[in-house]
Amino acid sequence: MEEPNWPIVNEEDLWKFVGWHLANKGIHSVLVGGAVVAIYSKGAYRSGDLDLVEPLLAKQTEIKSTMESIGFNKVNRHYVHPKCPHLYIEFVSAPVSIGDDYRIIPDEKEFKGKILKILSPTDCIKDRLASFIHFKARECLDQALLVAKSQNFNLQKVQEWCLNESSSGKEAFDEFIKLYKK
């Protein structure tokens, strides 16, 4: 597998490079967080990091070995590449969840013979709305809208999730839908 152009690599290309190498070693991580927004918004949003969830804690030794084999070093909780100062990798705690919902089934994308996993556009929107609901993070509402306006997603599932997530979920959904329809 060819290395990316490190000084200008984007979230999607870095995910494919790292994800392919992890999958090649039997590590089936799921891409979550802001990098998913960057991918689905075609770069309109840039995250600065890739958050990967590996469901099996037993894989930590294999993760470290694989990441080191492709040039990453572990610095505190992040994996950094000396030729890629603008993006780093973090493995976040399992399970894959969005707010209180742990029944997440990621999308699977085939890349050079390996299956890479990523939140679906619908789940990405719910993930961003979770931060808007729970932390009043307005930028996350904006990120949800970027994904909604550039991807096909299930509006009904987003609405149902918002209404079940929190007493302020209806308010958040109403704001989201008002801006989405503009």
* Ranges of the chain whose pLDDT falls below 70: 57-58
Model pTM?
0.96
- What local confidence, expressed as pLDDT, does residue 59 receive? 79
Please give the helix or strand (H or E) that residue 35 lies within, else none: helix 34-40
Specify the CATH number for 11-118; select among 3.30.420.40, 2.60.120.10, 3.30.460.40, 3.20.20.70.
3.30.460.40
Which strands, in side-by-side order, build the sheet including 84-92? 73-75, 78-81, 84-92, 49-53, 30-32, 114-118, 107-111
Nearest to 96 by CA among 163, 46, 28: 28
| Strand runs labelled E in the chain | 30-32, 49-53, 73-75, 78-81, 84-92, 107-111, 114-118
- What local confidence, expressed as pLDDT, does residue 6 receive? 98
Residues 6+ apart with CB under 8 A from 137: 131
Domains of the chain: which residue ranges?
11-118, 121-181
- What local confidence, expressed as pLDDT, does residue 58 receive? 62
Query: What are 81's strand-pairing partners?
Result: 84
Nearest to 100 by CA among 162, 53, 159, 154: 162
